[in-house]
Structure 1
Amino acid sequence: MPRVVFTPQLRRFVEIPEVETSSAQTVREALEAAFVVNPRLRGYVLDDQGHLRANVVVFIDGRRMRELKLLNDPLRPDSTLHVLQALSGG
């Protein structure tokens, strides 16, 4: 069953669940399962159009997600999504 893991950086702002979902077949479906557990998390991950925020990166089984708007990258039953805040420096 796909698993969604959030990095600790988001803990400063919102409680971070680690979610396993038996029905998720896409990234969006897996994220929606996490948002059910904590709805406030949605605003930190998605923008007003439901697209991945520019400062968020998602890896599926160690590979960076390709589709940032529809979030329809497919998942395997044993996939792990890592949701990270992208860091910028200066």
Structure 2
Amino acid sequence: MPQIVFAPAIQRHQPCPPLKVAAGTVSAALGQAFSAQPQMRDYILDDQGRLRRHVAIFIDGRVIEDRLHLTDAAGETAEIYVVQALSGG
């Protein structure tokens, strides 16, 4: 089963332990995480259900390609890592 992990910077605002999820996509994995920790949804997704600008998601160390629909595949042993995106100049 894939594991979804929320970075410590996010957990400062919304505690959520790593979760093993029965999911084949990032969207499904997030859905299961939100079922277990509903307060995470508003921090990670906007009111349209899209990934917020300040959040980045990696699967096995690679940034996801589909930020709009979150349909990137997560293999059976994947680690999905959710972090705060860096910005600035």
Give TM-score, length-normalised by structure 2: 0.93
Q: Does 1:78 align with 2:64?
A: no
% identical aligned pairs: 44
User: Which string of whole-angstrom CA distances, capped at 9 and with x for unpartnered residues, describes residues 45-82 of structure 1?
Assistant: 11111111111000001100000111111111011001
Distance between the aligned counterparts of 1:8 and 1:50, measured in 2?
23
Distance between the aligned counterparts of 1:12 and 1:77, measured in 2?
28
The aligned counterpart of 1:47 is: 46
Runs of 4 or more, structure 1, over 3 Å off, are: none
User: Which string of whole-angstrom CA distances, capped at 9 and with x for unpartnered residues, describes residues 13-39 of structure 1?
Assistant: 111221101x20100000111111110
User: Counterpart amino acid of 2:13?
Assistant: F
Give TM-score, length-normalised by structure 1: 0.92
SS in 1 for 2:4: strand
Q: Is the 8 A contact 1:17 1:37 kept in 2?
A: no
The more displaced of 8-17 and 53-62 is: 8-17
The aligned counterpart of 1:3 is: 3
List alignment gaps of at least 5 residues for structure 1: none
Using the TM superposition, give the Cα deviation of residue 89 of structure 1 relative to its aligned residue in structure 2, in angstroms.
Answer: 3.6
SS in 1 for 2:9: helix
* Aligned alpha-carbon RMSD (Å): 1.1
* Number of residues of Structure 1 aligned to a counterpart in Structure 2: 89
List alignment gaps of at least 5 residues for structure 2: none
